[in-house]
Amino acid sequence: MNIGRAMKELRELGQISRAKMAKDLCITESALWKIENGRTQPKSSTIDRFCEYMIIPKAYLYHKSFDDEDFLEVVRI
């Protein structure tokens, strides 16, 4: 699960600069860079503001953040 990668992907899809996004989320550009590059996890309030800004449900952001290896493969014996 990589919330930051999903945030970056959605930000870039919306053609929003990191500087503008950071300003609108009330965090520093450096903090946003760290989130997007997996150096730190965003606070829940940052996730809330991001989803509100992008007009997406949190469930969609979480869905976008899953990697294939996040899912367990069920093996039957």
- Residue-wise pLDDT for 19-76, tens only, equals 999 999 999 999 999 999 999 999 999 999 999 999 999 999 999 998 877 766 656 6
| pTM, two decimal places | 0.85
Read off the pLDDT of each residue in 3-12 and give the average, rounded to a whole number.
97
Give the Cβ contact number of residue 72 at 10 Å.
Answer: 6
pLDDT number for residue 67? 82
What 3-state DSSP class applies to 19? Answer: helix
Q: Are 32 and 18 in contact (CB under 8 A)?
A: yes
Going along the chain from its start, the domains and CATH numbers come out as: 3-68 (1.10.260.40)
